[in-house]
Amino acid sequence: MARMKPRHALYLYLAVLPAPTFVHDPALLALGLLIALTLAGAPRWRILKKSLLAILAFNLSVSLGVVLVGLWRGQIDTGWLLLANLRVLLMVYLGFWFVARVNLLAALAGWPTATLVATLALGQARCFERLIRDFRFAFASRNLTRPRLIDQRHQAGAQAITLLDKAQAQSAEVALAMRSRGAFD
C-alpha cells in the first residue's frame, strides 16, 4: 500500500473494507486479521493496540448486552460474540492501517468537499489529542505518587466532560463555518 498512489490505496481500502461483513466464519475472519497483521509490517502491534483500545468500550458494552440477554434467555450465543468482535476488530484494524500508511488528504485531492471535511476532522483530532495530552501531564504533575483509583476515576470523568463540551462547541462552529461557505447546499 505504501508504494501505491494515495488515490489507488483509497480505492483498494474502500473495496476491501466491506469484505468482512460478508464472512460468517470466525476462522476466516481470524485468518484475515492474521494476513493483515502480517502485511502491516513493523507497526502491526502498535496498530493492533490502537484498534483494540478504539473498540473496547463499544464492543464491551454490546458483548455485555448480548451476554445479559443470553443469560436471561438461558443460552449465550458465543459464536455470534466471537464473529461480531472479530469482524469489528478486523475492520477497525484495516482503517488504522490505512491511515498509518496513506496520506488521507493526498488520497482525497480532487474532491474539494471531501478534502475540506477531512481537513476539519484531522484538525479536530489533533486538537483533542493535545487536550488529552495536557490533561495527562497536568494530572501527573499534581501527583507525586501513583494516584488512588478514585482520583483516576474523577480525572477521567472531568476529562470526558471537557472533551464532550469542547466537541459540542466546535461542532457548532464548524457547522456554521461550513454552511457559510456553501458546504450544505
User: pLDDT per residue over 106-160, tens digit each?
Assistant: 999 888 888 888 888 888 888 888 988 998 888 888 888 888 889 889 888 888 8
Per the structure block, which three cell numbers stand in for 100? 498509518
* CA–CA dist 136, 50 (Å, integer): 18
Most distant CA atoms of the chain, gap in Å: 56
The answer to whether 89 and 52 are in contact (CB under 8 A) is: yes
The answer to whether 97 and 40 are in contact (CB under 8 A) is: yes
Per the structure block, which three cell numbers stand in for 170? 466546535
3-state secondary structure of 16: helix
- The number of beta carbons lying within 10 Å of the beta carbon of residue 149 is 8
- Domain edges within the chain: 6-106, 110-180
Identify the burial level of 141 via C-beta atoms within 10 angstroms of its C-beta, where 0-12 means exposed, 13-18 middle and 19 or more buried: exposed
pLDDT of residue 185: 61
pLDDT of residue 51: 92
Rounded to whole angstroms, what are the CA distances from 85 to 63, 112, 121, 174?
8, 35, 26, 34
pLDDT of residue 85: 93
The stretches in the chain having pLDDT less than 70 are 1-2, 184-185
* CA–CA dist 148, 134 (Å, integer): 20
* CA–CA dist 34, 32 (Å, integer): 5
